[in-house]
């Protein structure tokens, strides 16, 4: 039962953190939904969150922006 309490506590703290942070960022429900979609998409694109994956993603974005500005 001890391990279940730890998991529940971590989940509750995570929900509280997201709730508090989202209220700081925006009060608009539509913007909040969009923000959460962007976060979900980012997590799907970088599931391991290793530094190398993040750097690769940033380089992809920079390359994309450079190509767009050249057109």
Distance, in Å, from the CA atom of 37 to the CA atom of 47, rounded to the nearest integer, reads 15
DSSP assignment string, 10-37: HHHHHHHHHHHHHHHH-S-HHHHHHHHH
What pLDDT was estimated at residue 71? Answer: 58
Measured distance CA(60)–CA(53) in Å, rounded:
11
Q: How far apart are CA 58 and CA 71, in angstroms?
A: 20
Record the pTM: 0.44
| Spatial contact of 32 and 22, defined as CB atoms under 8 Å apart | yes
pLDDT, greater one: 59 or 5? 59
pLDDT tens-digit series, residues 38-53: 878 877 877 777 778 7
In this structure, is the dihedral angle defined by the CA atoms of residues 6, 22, 41 and 30, taken in order, positive or negative? positive
């Amino acid at each position: 039962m001890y391990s279940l309490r730890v998991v529940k506590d971590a989940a509750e703290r995570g929900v509280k953190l997201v709730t508090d942070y989202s209220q700081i960022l925006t009060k608009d429900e539509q913007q909040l939904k969009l923000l959460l979609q962007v976060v979900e998409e980012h997590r799907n694109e970088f599931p391991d969150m290793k530094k190398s994956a993040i750097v690769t993603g940033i380089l992809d974005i920079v390359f994309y922006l450079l190509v767009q500005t050249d057109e």
